[in-house]
Amino acid sequence: MTNALSQIIKERLDRQGWSYGEVARRGGVPRSTVHHLATAERLVRMPQPATLEGLSRGLELPLDTLRRAAAEACGIHLYPTSEPAPDTKERTAPADPEVDLLIASVQRLSSDDRRHVVALVESLLERAPKDHPNGG
């Protein structure tokens, strides 16, 4: 059984006739990383942003496509954070991928852990400068 990210990688390699090494060289990521992401049945954790960016370059695919596939492979559902672009049904790139990951990760926490996260967020918001765009 393959996961969403490995399917995308394998399909792209087959379609373009590329090797793991070629994708790694083009994207500036280790060959072993490309191989692991292409062959792992399930990802235990989300790949680092720099890894996904390199994979995006190496595979010549949109970063958002790979980010969503990687999240799905980890069992995380990313919710769209932007509105569809004008005159199209496609959504624009999310403003902040960390927000997507945070929102999706919270649903996997226990209710007790979610209460801790809420307390932390409230504490951070209280100490944020009032004139900061993300501060209260």
Domain boundaries, the chain: 1-75, 81-136
Was domain 1-75 assigned CATH 1.20.1050.10? no
Between residues 64 and 134, the one the model is more confident about? 64
Burial classification of residue 53, based on how many CB atoms lie within 10 Å of its CB (0-12 exposed, 13-18 middle, 19 or more buried): middle
Burial classification of residue 29, based on how many CB atoms lie within 10 Å of its CB (0-12 exposed, 13-18 middle, 19 or more buried): buried
SS3 91: strand
Predicted local confidence at residue 52, as pLDDT = 94
- pLDDT band per the 50, 70, 90 thresholds, residue 41: confident
Hey, what are 48's tokens?
Answer: 């680092």
Between residues 38 and 68, the one the model is more confident about? 38
The neighbouring-strand residues paired with 91 are: 84
- List, for residues 82-135, the tens digit of each pLDDT value: 555 555 555 555 455 566 666 666 667 788 887 888 888 888 888 877 655 554
Distance CA 38, CA 110 (A): 30
Q: State which H helix or E strand residue 81 sits in.
A: none
CA–CA distance from 102 to each of 68, 79, 91, 105 (Å)? 13, 10, 19, 5
